Amino acid sequence: MSDTLPRPRVLLTKSFIDSHDRAIETIALALRDAAMEVVLIDYEQPEDVVTVALQEDVDVIGISFMSGGQVETTQKIVAELARWDVSDLPIVVGGIIRPFDEPPLREAGVANIFRGGAPLSDVVATFEALSRSYRGLA
C-alpha cells in the first residue's frame, strides 16, 4: 500500500447521546472501503465537533441525526466553523431529517442531505467529491 497517497479524511459524529450506532458505523465502513480515513466520534458539543474536525484536518464533516436538533446543532457547527474562518469545510447531514428541516438546513449551507435508506454508493460518491473539491483537486 502506498503510504504517501493522500487519502480523503472525514469526520463522522452523532448528534445526540443515543446508542444507535448501526447507521453511522455502516457509513464509516463504506467510506473506509472506499479508501478514506474516517475519524469516528460519539456525541460531542458542536464547538468540540469543530475542534476535532480541525485537529484531524478533515475534508468533510458528516452528522448523523435521529431524535432531534437537526437544525439547531447544524447551525451551531456552521457558526463555529465561521468563527474559525473555515466556512468552506463542507457538512453532510444524514439519518432522520424531516421535510421541514430541509429549508433551514440548506440555508445554513449544508452540502448534502441523506435520508435513511439512501444508497450507500451515493453517500460514498458525495463524500469523495466534496473531499476532492475541498482539497482543490479536480
What residue ranges bind other proteins (CB under 8 A)?
Answer: 1-7, 9, 28-29, 31-42, 44-45, 47-48, 51-52, 54-57, 84, 86
We find the least distance from the C-beta atom of residue 29 to other proteins, in angstroms, to be 7
Q: Which is nearer to other proteins, 29 or 115 (CB)?
A: 29
We find the least distance from the C-beta atom of residue 88 to other proteins, in angstroms, to be 13
Name the grid cell of 50.
469543530
135 touches 88 (CB < 8 A): no
We find the least distance from the C-beta atom of residue 78 to other proteins, in angstroms, to be 17
Q: Which is nearer to other proteins, 82 or 86 (CB)?
A: 86
Q: Which residues contact 36 (CB under 8 A, 6 or more apart)?
A: 7, 8, 9, 10, 127, 128, 131
Name the grid cell of 27.
457509513
> What is d(CA 103, CA 122) in angstroms, rounded to the nearest whole number?
21
Q: Which is nearer to other proteins, 56 or 102 (CB)?
A: 56
Name the grid cell of 1.
500500500
